[in-house]
Structure 1
C-alpha cells in the first residue's frame, strides 16, 4: 500500500469468527460450534441470488448472534470477486476446496500456493464458500468478472510459526499479483500438476470402535488397498481388544486426526483416491 501497488480493494478479516474464538469450555477452544446452541459456524449459510445481497442485513439486529455473524460475513464476501477462506485441518498437508466451475482456471492459485492437493467441491453443501458460489451462480450479470472462491486448508492446527506464516503470506501475495490485484511481477512458470480429486473420490476413514489410536501411516503417504492404516486398542490386554483399520482402496493420505483416543465413528484420515469412495456419502460437505 505504501508503494501504491494495490490496484483493487483488499479486505482482510483477521478473525472471522470472534464468537468461536471466545469459547473455552473446560479450558479447550471450541471454535467450530456455538456452545449454547450447537450451531456449526461453517454450515447453513444463506443461499441467495446475488441481487438479493442487501437482504442479508434486513433486521439483522433482531437475529441470533450466530446468524448475524454468518450474514455479515456472506454480505462482505459477495461484494468481492476473489474470496479465500483460510482454515486448517487436524493434521494435514496444504490443500484447498475449489468448486468445479473455477477449475482449471484456478490452476494459478494451486501453483502460487504450491498446494499438495485440490478437492473439487460439488456445490451442494451450505458451507461458507459454497454459499458464496451459489450466489455467483445466480448472478444476473451476463458478463461477470473473473472470480475465484476457495477454502484454503493451511495444514494442521499445530503448524503455526512465523517462518511458515511469512512464506504462506508471500504465496498469497504472488497469487494476487498474478491476478492483477497487486502491481508487480510474478512468474508462475509451468502449470501446477498436483492431485485434483472430486469429493466423491475422497475416503473419510473412521474408527469402528472407541479406543487408543496407533497410526501406521503418515501424511502424504501413498497406500494400497488393504494396507493397514491404524490399530485401535479398545480393550487393553484382551484377545479381541485390538481392531485394525485397512485402506478401502489405493490413495494418498491428506489429513490425519491429532487425537490419540477416539470415539466410535471419529475421523482418522482423509484419503484422495482415483476411484469413487467405497463408503456411503451424501452430496455436500465431507464432514459436519
Structure 2
C-alpha cells in the first residue's frame, strides 16, 4: 500500500509562529503518469476541499486493491497561510494580508528562467524534450531561496506540480454553476473532464492576465514551442482550474458526487483500474473573452431578475440596483443590462454592491471587443 500522509512545517514571518502544510500521495512512484491535485488555494473556497475529502478514501481503497496506475499527489487544503487570515469574524482567505496579493496571482513565468538552460539541447525526441524542460525547471526551483512563508509555500507547491502530467486546481466561485478554466491548446482534450464534472462551461484563455496557477505550465510549454518551432515540444501538462459551484456549496452530497466524477475521469484515462458509467456530454469550450463580467455601474442593493443558468439576450435586465443615497434613496431602481447573448454562469451572493463590483458572468459565444487582449479576471 502506497497511500501516505506528508507534512511540511513552514516557519512563520513573526516570532513564535509556524504553519503546517498537509498532503497525501498514493500510487506507484515509478508510474508513467503523475497527477497533482490541490484545493483551496483561495483558502476561503472550501467546496474543493470537500471534494478531495471524499476522493481520498476512494484513492486509498483503490491503492489497497492495487488498482492505481498513476502517482497521485493531493493537497486537500493547499494554503494553510490563508486559513489563518480571519479578520473581525470574517475569513479573508483570498489575499495575503501582508502584501495584498491574491494567492492565485503572480505565479512565476517559468520559460525565461530556463530558456538558457535548454538552449541547444532540445532534440527531435518529444519525450526527451519534456524531460529536459522539467529537469531545467526543477534545477531552477532548487536554486531558489524563498524568504517569507508565502514564498516557501509557493515553492513547495511548484516543486510538486512542475513534473505532473495532470494538474487540477480546485476552486469555487461566489454563487455559480460548475465550470472550468483551461488553456485553448488543452481542448478538446479535456472534454472528458468537463463531461465527468458536469461543467456548464469550459472557458479557455492563453493568458487571463493575472499569472494564475493553472497557466504556469501551459505558458512554459507554449513559449518553448514558439521559441523552437522546428522541434517537437508537446504541451507537457494538462492543467485546469475547476470551479465547484459557489462558496456556500460545501456539502457532503455534492462533494461525494464530484469526487466520484474525478475518480471516474481518472478511470476513463486508465489511471485507475476501474470501470465507470458513461458520462453525459457537456458543452464544448468557449473563449473566456466571450464571457462578459457584468459590473455594477453604481452602488446600491442588488435585486436579480435572473437565476443561474438562465439565458439572456443583449439588453436584457440582469438585475436592478436599488439606490441607497440621493433624492430617490431606497426608491429608485436602475436596471443593469446584459452586454451579450448567453447564459448566467455566476452571480454575487452579497447583494450590497459598489461601483465596479462584479455582479454576474454571462457566457456567450462571440468574443467581446472590450475583453479581447485585456485582463480577464474579476479579480
TM-score of the superposition, structure 1-length normalised?
Answer: 0.91
The match for 1:169 is 259
Aligned pair partner of 2:269 in 168, 179, 201: 179
Task: Indicate whether 1:268 and 2:330 are aligned.
Answer: no
1:97–1:280 Cα change, 3 Å = closer
**CA distance 1:237–1:264, shift in 2 (3 Å):** closer
Question: Structure 2 matches for 1:246-285, cutoff 5 A?
Answer: 246-277=337-368, 279-280=370-371, 282-285=373-376
The whole-number CA distance in structure 2 between the counterparts of 1:251 and 1:237 is: 34
Contact 1:54–1:75 under 8 Å retained in 2: no
Change (3 A) 1:133 1:158: same
Which is greater in Rg? 2
SS of 1:37's partner is coil
The separation in 1 between residues aligned to 2:303 and 2:64, in whole angstroms, is: 52
For the Cα contact (< 8 Å) 2:289–2:376, is it kept in 1? no
Find the counterpart in structure 1 of residue 308 from structure 2. 219
Note the C-alpha offset of 1:4.
0.6
Deviation larger for 273-282 or 1-10: 273-282
Report the equivalent of 2:248.
158
Unaligned runs of 5+ residues in structure 1 are none
1:55 match: secondary structure: helix
CA contact (8 A) 1:203 1:278 kept: no
Give the C-alpha shift of residue 57 in structure 1: 3.5
* C-alpha displacement of 1:89: 0.2
Residue ranges of structure 2 left out of the alignment (5+ in a row) = 1-62, 112-132
Q: Is the 8 A contact 1:33 1:39 kept in 2?
A: yes
Distance in 2 (CA, whole Å) between partners of 1:145 and 1:232 is 45
Aligned equivalents of 1:153, 1:220: Cα separation in 2: 15
Paired position in structure 1 for 2:239:
149
Q: Does 1:63 align with 2:125?
A: no
Q: Distance in 1 between matches of 2:276 and 2:204?
A: 26
User: RMSD over aligned Cα, in angstroms?
Assistant: 2.2
Judge which range, 82-91 or 123-132, deviates more: 123-132
SS of aligned partner of 1:10: strand
1:224–1:251 Cα contact (<8 Å) kept: yes
Instruction: Give a deviation string over 1:49-94, Cα, whole Å, max 9, x none.
Output: 342233224243x422222222221221112100110000000001
Match of 1:230 among 301, 319, 327: 319
2:86 is the alignment partner of 1:24 = yes
- Provide the TM-score with structure 2 as the length reference: 0.70
The higher relative CO (CA closer than 8 Å, separation ≥ 6) is in: 1
The match for 1:108 among 182, 192, 208 is: 192
Deviations 1:217-248 (A, max 9, x none): 10010011111111111236844842210111
User: Is the Cα contact below 8 Å between 2:301 and 2:324 reproduced in 1?
Assistant: no
- Equivalent residue number for residue 5 of structure 1: 67
Query: Aligned to 1:52, which of 128, 137, 144?
Result: 137
Cα deviation digits, residues 129-178 of structure 1 (max 9, x gap): 00121223338994658741100000000111111101000000000011
In structure 1, the partner of 2:164 is: 80
Tell me the distance in 2 between the aligned counterparts of 1:219 and 1:124. Answer: 23
